[in-house]
């Protein structure tokens, strides 16, 4: 399983994903689920993937090596974010056409979901969620985040905290706390965590970190959040029902 979250804010984008994959409990491994296409100052696209790892990797390879008649259309040369989202959708459909029937024959579903965020010079910063059918939706001021994979454990904190005007550092903190809730409740989501921050109109990745269990900041917020929750729990009064 996977957990990935992308947030679209007034100041820019925050994208965060875990790195655990498993094909059964005896085949657990670490794979990167965050992919960046960047020409600093010109374009910056970040893609998060969830679902069948073979499908995800094939899609990412297609987006790098090229689609179209001459295999020249890539995320490195696509002319807009809208065209980028369409290209990701086309890559998903190409892999679907190749793999889905074979997967089904052997009892597996074709599954992939993706978050694509980024900006091209002179154009808008945008965030998309792309489905396994290759169709997609775009984040807005009212719904400023998308999640993929094991989404539910980490949703409550996003619902309570994230707004368009949330700062990038606060949003990164929120994404990591959302990740922490997921890590604690589902063993198929695991460290290290990848996080990327893109400032609006910079067209490059301002921050990209891989945080493992030795990372001091991640350990610190996990401990503080856990202690803080317990402390709020204690301050909320018990019911006065006679028990």
Minimum CB distance to its own copies smaller for 165 or for 230: 230
Minimum CB distance to its own copies smaller for 26 or for 241: 241
Residue closest to 3 by CA, chosen among 196, 158, 188, 150: 150
Q: How far is the CB of 64 from its own copies (least distance, A)?
A: 27
CA distances from 224 to 22, 117, 168, 172, 221 (A): 30, 30, 20, 15, 5
Provide the binding-site residues for its own copies, judged by CB under 8 A: 12, 152-153, 155-157, 159-161, 167-170, 172-174, 177, 181, 184-185, 197, 199, 206-207, 209, 217, 220-221, 224-226, 228-233, 235-243
Strand partners, 177: none
SS3 148: strand
Beta strand segments in the chain, E:
3-8, 12-17, 20-22, 28-30, 34-39, 43-51, 112-120, 126-130, 136-138, 145-149, 193-199, 205-211
Burial (CB < 10 A; 0-12, 13-18, 19+), residue 52, is: buried
Q: How far is the CB of 200 from its own copies (least distance, A)?
A: 11
Minimum CB distance to its own copies smaller for 65 or for 213: 213
Minimum CB distance to its own copies smaller for 22 or for 209: 209
Q: How far is the CB of 230 from its own copies (least distance, A)?
A: 6
Q: How far is the CB of 31 from its own copies (least distance, A)?
A: 23
| Token couple for 141 | 């001021």
Q: How far is the CB of 54 from its own copies (least distance, A)?
A: 26
Q: How far is the CB of 222 from its own copies (least distance, A)?
A: 10
Minimum CB distance to its own copies smaller for 70 or for 233: 233
Q: How far is the CB of 111 from its own copies (least distance, A)?
A: 18
Q: Is the peptide bond before 128 cis (omega within 30 degrees of 0)?
A: no
Minimum CB distance to its own copies smaller for 106 or for 231: 231
Cα torsion 160, 111, 92, 53 to 10°: value is 90
CA distances from 112 to 53, 72, 183, 233, 241 (A): 8, 23, 20, 37, 49
Minimum CB distance to its own copies smaller for 56 or for 186: 186
């Amino acid at each position: 399983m996977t957990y990935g979250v992308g947030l679209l804010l007034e100041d820019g984008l925050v994208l965060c994903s875990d790195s655990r994959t498993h094909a059964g409990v005896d085949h657990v491994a670490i794979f990167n689920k965050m992919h960046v296409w960047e020409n600093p100052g010109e374009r910056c696209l970040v893609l998060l993937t969830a679902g069948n790892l073979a499908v995800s990797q094939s899609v990412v390879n297609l987006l790098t090596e090229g689609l179209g008649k001459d295999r020249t259309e890539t995320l490195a040369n696509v002319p807009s974010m809208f065209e980028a989202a369409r290209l990701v959708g086309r890559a998903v459909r190409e892999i679907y056409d190749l793999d889905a029937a074979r997967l089904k024959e052997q009892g597996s579903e074709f599954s992939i979901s993706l978050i694509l965020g980024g900006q091209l010079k002179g154009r808008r910063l945008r965030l998309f969620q792309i489905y396994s059918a290759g169709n997609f939706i775009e984040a807005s001021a009212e719904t400023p985040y998308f999640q993929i994979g094991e989404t539910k454990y980490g949703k409550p904190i996003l619902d309570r905290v994230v707004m368009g005007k949330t700062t990038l550092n606060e949003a990164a903190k929120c994404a990591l706390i959302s990740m922490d809730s997921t890590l604690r409740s589902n063993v198929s989501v695991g460290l290290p965590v990848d996080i990327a921050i893109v400032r609006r109109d910079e067209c490059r990745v301002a921050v990209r970190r891989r945080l493992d269990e030795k990372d001091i900041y991640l350990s610190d917020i996990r401990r503080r959040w856990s202690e803080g929750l317990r402390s709020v729990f204690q301050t909320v009064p018990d019911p006065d029902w006679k028990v």
